[in-house]
Chains A and B, each alone.
Chain A
């Protein structure tokens, strides 16, 4: 019992009884049904399952961009249910990093400018944000491509920029969705080394 309590103190993500439904009446889909999850600090977690099983729904709830219908989720000791929308936005801003399935890099911005966005949102001045972004791009092996636009980058490079964007601020949790390419696995480990916990989501069992 005491070891469980100890574990819980170290857990960076703790979910209890998470339930999420989409749609109403006959068209209703049960995306999550009483999910229990505990992710320890520093743990690299892969969320694997067939398409439509609720992986994205689960990390959306953990990341604080979706509310569960039932249950509760505590991330870094913060009960998300207790947060008002603005507070939840602020929480995401300083504590959560995202690597989107389609990377979602802004095409009009250079790689380093894409990476610095979370820093700017955290109030870091542009000059410092840019140099920090370049530093992180260097860590993911893209030092020479900092001024390239996303359209000039290969798929793998775009993915690494997206990872750099998630890494660029001092984060406690980072989330990636679906099919992390093998080239991204190294940064993903770097990810888990520097961040509290990072559950990438994939429907590729071979990657687990």
Chain B
């Protein structure tokens, strides 16, 4: 009877394509909106991910998220290194710097200053040059998106596209010369500004002068020491907050969700997609069942049990659900690839998001079929004799 059910479903082309369109719309938006959100989040804590060697991020206890910099005094570095269980500790500077372009305009960029000796926290993947080249005098590494975007040089030929920065180009920050020694992959941030990496000591000269310049301290816990115990030690002996990479990312995520309206919009869009898509699909499916109510009644009269009819309707709902989900996810993936190929924002579609969308579409199918089923189950088979 399942084949009969599917033929009944696909035989009504208008409603069949309407149902698939509704569910495609739902699964596309329910995947694409969170994927964009996750892409922006990934940019927001991209530099946290880059510092993969460090176990802990040490910061002022009032820091709420990754870009909420409350600088520490340089003496804190020594105190942290002295805490029991700390293997090594290195400074990192994160701030903004104004880059003066050749045409005289200024472009605000995110400046990251890495420990001079170890360069921990630097970009893991380079497009050209190498991280070690930062040791060259005035050396800076620019992320690829910034190099071909906002920091690109004006083209000498009027009306032609700007020329991307390449290794050897010279830029100016805070009236100081900086030489591009490498172009890194990634390095995007949530503001869309270019990211420039240099050494910690050099970053202090490129950044606007402030009394305290140490943004975070990256810490590696000694082998054999309990991470939680080292965190407690740091808090007790220095008064600073210590978070693991995942904790710091989680804090950033929740801060952005709670405080940045754009992130609320993503959430609302997802909910609206679920409700609107669900209503469209549910309404069409309900109408489809009503249109076929007479035939369900006929089958009931001929001896179809409620169980058989329930399975038929569920099969119809899950079939359109699976097709709509597949097309929607495919479209969301194509959308991500298209947006991601431009480099600035790469929408993220982790498996959990795919499962989440599948569960939401499944819930819609169950709901739509349950509403439709009520009519079919309550249908008196004798009613088919009435006309």
Contacts and interface: CB of A to CB of B under 8 A. Distances in A.
Nearest to A118: B302
B4 A94 contact: no
Contacts of B300: 89
B210 interface: no
Contacts of A60: 382, 385
Given A108-B7, A108-B8, A117 B385 contact: no
B304 A89 contact: yes
Contacts of A109: 4, 7-8, 11
Given A56-B385, A66-B382, A108-B8, A126 B3 contact: yes
B105 interface: no
Given A89-B303, A89-B304, A107-B11, A120 B381 contact: no
B354 interface: no
Interface stretch (B220-228, B291-299, B323-331, B333-341): B291-299
Contacts, number: 78
A190 interface: no
User: Looking at B4, B305, B386, which has the most chain A CB atoms within 10 Å of its CB?
Assistant: B4
B103 interface: no
Contact of A104 (B11, B308, B384): B384
A117 B3 contact: no
Contacts of A100: 298, 384-385
A202 to B, nearest CB: 14
Interface in B1-49: 1, 3-4, 7-8, 10-12
| Interface range for B | 20 to 34
Contacts of B11: 107-109
Interface in B243-296: 292, 294-295
A121 B304 contact: yes
A170 to B, nearest CB: 14
B387 interface: yes
Contact of B303 (A108, A113, A118, A126): A118
A169 B3 CA distance: 19
Contacts of A66: 380, 382
Interface string A100-131: 11101011110001000110111000100000
A126 B4 CA distance: 10
A90 interface: yes
A65 B386 CA distance: 12
A63 B305 contact: no
B4 A92 contact: no
A2 B192 CA distance: 101
B301 interface: yes
Interface in A44-100: 56, 59-60, 63, 65-66, 86, 89-94, 96-98, 100
B1 A94 contact: no
B4 A89 contact: no
Contact of B299 (A86, A101, A117, A122): A117
B4 A113 contact: yes
A192 interface: no
A96 B303 contact: yes
A101 B387 contact: yes
A177 interface: yes
Nearest to B386: A56
B346 to A, nearest CB: 44
A118 B1 CA distance: 10
A93 B304 CA distance: 7
Contacts of B380: 65-66
Contact of A121 (B308, B385, B386): B308
Contacts of A89: 300, 303-305
A89 B298 CA distance: 12
Contact of A65 (B8, B292, B301, B305): B301
Contacts of A93: 302-304
A91 B299 CA distance: 14
Contact of A101 (B308, B382, B385): B385
Given A108-B11, A108-B12, A86 B305 contact: yes
A90 B303 contact: yes
A96 B386 CA distance: 18
A56 B383 CA distance: 11
Nearest to A110: B7
B308 to A, nearest CB: 7
A98 B305 contact: no
Nearest to A126: B3
22 contacts: A56-B385, A56-B386, A63-B301, A66-B380, A86-B305, A89-B304, A92-B302, A93-B303, A96-B303, A104-B298, A106-B8, A106-B295, A106-B298, A108-B7, A108-B10, A109-B11, A113-B4, A113-B7, A118-B302, A120-B4, A121-B299, A121-B303
Which 6 residue pairs spanning A and B have beta carbons closest together?
A108-B11, A93-B303, A65-B381, A92-B303, A66-B382, A104-B298
Given A89-B304, A93-B303, A106-B295, 15 more contacts: A56-B385, A60-B382, A60-B385, A65-B301, A65-B380, A89-B303, A90-B305, A96-B303, A100-B298, A102-B387, A104-B294, A106-B4, A108-B7, A117-B299, A120-B1
